[in-house]
A and B are shown apart, each in its own frame.
Chain A
Amino acid sequence: MTNAPHVRRVPSEERVFSLVLALVASPQGLTKSELLSTVYGYAERYDPGKPDPAIERQFERDKTQVRQLGIPIETIDSPLESGNNQLTRYRISKDRLQLPEEVRFSSSELTLLKLASLAWTDGSLGAESRWATMKLTSLGANLDVRHLGIAPRLGMLEPAAPSLQLAIDEGRVARFDYLLPGRDQPLERRVAPLRLHRAEGRWHLIAHDIERRADRVFLLSRIASEVRVESTTFDPALSDGVDAVLDQLLRLRDAQRATVSVRRGSVAEARLESRGTARPTRLDAEDRTLVEIGTLDLHAFACELAGYGDEARVLEPESLRSEVARILERIRKQHVEGSSQ
């Protein structure tokens, strides 16, 4: 193979796969020049006597791609001349590359894992979903999803999600404009993004607000600009606070309660009943049921409730009641003949 250069351009996947094999096969690691001068895909074009920035950049990109796939590349600094990256050795430890042999999944576990993986097909985790699904297939997950009959969709379709995902993975600071409910103008926030969390069907960003020096929860749907990812990195220890923030968020749900009357047999009843905190009360005079529900976010909940139209009517609290009425009034006005948005 190395004897026949220039026959064709080596496809990237062949070069990257060959790089992985070379890194796994060498327990003591290989230096960059050793890799570039021997590995298929680089070796044909590499001349140790002539530095070529294009090949070096390609090597860096390939390493990033390998790491993205969940394959850890270790770097070993030269003991003789520490800090000289020409002498740095690279390797992939087989133990850390492959799933430990004691970890195996039963066929029912694999089926559920594959369903869980396929749920992310759309949206910002689409690529990771494809890779995890391939790994599961190679572990023996043998499933045409239609046979299990459930196809949930979790994909984050919010435009802010991919950049936040990237910033979290790389531990980098992010900036975005955030529109608080009831305000006209968004405010720029500069945060250390820590986790994307879904609750009540909405995606939240758990982050450390750098200016306010405090952990904050943001709704992805209220991010009103592109997310700008800085090159500045943040202290990974900030992530330690995430679970406490989540606990607090869920306690808030217990504290913020609403009483809603829903029409029996309606979509609103179907959606809200299972989220109720107490047994629903039937109102026999009307064709309605009372449901008491805790919510994480009164404004987002108001929007959801307005969407049910006359199937749901808020009784308490007054703030939620007036907010729902305000949204409905806005919709009504928007649809009066001759009006515009």
Chain B
Amino acid sequence: MTRKFTTPDRVMLLMSLVPYLKEHGPTPVTELASRFAVEPEIVRQLVRFLGVAGVPGETQTYQHEDLFDIDWEALEQFDLVSLTQIVAVDDTPRFSSVETAALIAGLHALAPMLPEEMRATARSTADKLSQVQPAPGARGAVSISEDPEQTRLTVITSAIANGRQLAFDYRDARDVSTHRRVEPLLLSQSGGAWYLRAFCLDREAERTFMIDRLREPRELEGAATHVPSPDAEKGSNVEGAQLTARVALSRAALQRIADFAPRTLGATDSGWVLAEVDLLHPAVAVRLVQAAPGEVVVEAPAAARDAVQRWAERALSGYDV
């Protein structure tokens, strides 16, 4: 994902590089770039500035003893960052009140999907963080009520943490059940659902499994040795799209189907949005409607629209209306 790296981002990176370098000593630019998840060129730019940054001293001008310094030769010749003098700031900044609230909420969101020991650590870390007073006048802007324990997820996170293989029964989108043995790689969330990216030992290839379709996961004795391919974090929905559907939907619903990568075509008279979505199969159109029931209308092709109509009729047959 390419985001604009803003001025505050750059300031924060400078503030964070100083304690990192103080702790770790001379570090290659590429390593800093990967640790802080930024382009190496941004690190180089900022470090070149850091090497001359400082405070106006008693004479109100920048004197050598009031300036940061770096080993310029190491930077220019070996792309290595070595801070040789530090002024004014030397430790990690506190978390702001919003950051603190977001971290605590994040830990509470994680807890129900972690194995027991890690869950306890998540909760105690949240408590510890709440003891650190952020800036005065702080407001806890966000919070989260912990969900009940997600047993299916805890079995999987535990297998990942232990580096073990996993077995489960899987019912695919066409209702076919199979028994699978996999090496679990990554659990990720997309459009409200959880997905497991795993190396399937039966198929000898990486596959994505929807957690809600997976039954009775159990950790096996066998060790997991595969590492995720670089694109493991993506790849839930969009391989080999077969058809393009036209949908009319509310603006709120457009947000909710963001994972289907809708392309907006324009607005309708009633203030809704017209969009195109690539689908694997006409029946997948139902998932668009499920994302925001009543606020997504699949208009074309007819096969997709009919699939939604039939789906609604099947559901209605359970109600005497």
Q: Which residues of A contact B (CB under 8 A)?
A: 1-2, 11-14, 16-18, 20-22, 24-26, 34, 37-40, 43, 65-72, 94, 96-101, 103, 105, 108-109, 112-113, 115-117, 119-120, 125-135, 137-140, 142, 146, 148-154, 157-159, 165, 168-169, 171, 194-201, 221, 236, 239, 242, 246, 250, 265, 267, 270-271, 274-275, 303, 306-310, 313, 321, 324-325, 327-332, 334-337, 340-341
> How far, in whole Å, are A132 and B294 apart by their CA atoms in the complex?
38
Total interface residues on B, using CB and 8 Å?
Answer: 134
The answer, yes or no, to whether B150 is at the interface (CB within 8 Å) is yes
How far is the CB of B3 from the nearest CB of chain A, in Å? 8
Q: Could you tell me if B272 and A38 are in contact, using CB atoms closer than 8 angstroms?
A: no
Interface centre among A68, A195, A199, A270 (most CB of B within 10 A): A270
Interface centre among A148, A159, A236, A307 (most CB of B within 10 A): A307
Q: Could you tell me if A159 and B36 are in contact, using CB atoms closer than 8 angstroms?
A: no
Q: Could you tell me if A24 and B99 are in contact, using CB atoms closer than 8 angstroms?
A: no
Query: Which of B53, B60, B289, B298 sits near A40, CB closer than 8 Å?
Result: B53
Q: Could you tell me if B16 and A146 are in contact, using CB atoms closer than 8 angstroms?
A: no
> How far, in whole Å, are A30 and B5 apart by their CA atoms in the complex?
30
Within 8 A of A (CB), among B255-298: 255-256, 258, 268, 270, 272, 286, 289-294, 297-298
> How far, in whole Å, are A200 and B137 apart by their CA atoms in the complex?
29
Query: Which of A11, A109, A126, A199 sits near B145, CB closer than 8 Å?
Result: A199
> How far, in whole Å, are A63 and B99 apart by their CA atoms in the complex?
19
Given A22-B55, A152-B110, A337-B302: A310 and B315 interface contact (C-beta under 8 Å): yes
Query: Which of A115, A120, A157 sits near B102, CB closer than 8 Å?
Result: A120
Q: Could you tell me if A125 and B102 are in contact, using CB atoms closer than 8 angstroms?
A: yes
Please classify the interface of chain A as helix (H, G, I), strand (E, B), loop, or mixed, using the class held by over half of its residues: helix
Q: Could you tell me if B89 and A197 are in contact, using CB atoms closer than 8 angstroms?
A: no
What sequence of 0s and 1s flags, for each residue 166-205 of chain B, a beta carbon within 8 Å of any chain A beta carbon? 0000010000010000001111111010000000000000
Q: Could you tell me if B102 and A117 are in contact, using CB atoms closer than 8 angstroms?
A: yes
Q: Could you tell me if B88 and A306 are in contact, using CB atoms closer than 8 angstroms?
A: no
The answer, yes or no, to whether B132 is at the interface (CB within 8 Å) is yes
**10 residue pairs, one from A and one from B, having the closest CB atoms:** A70-B96, A116-B106, A149-B160, A13-B10, A38-B56, A332-B312, A138-B16, A199-B145, A25-B55, A270-B212
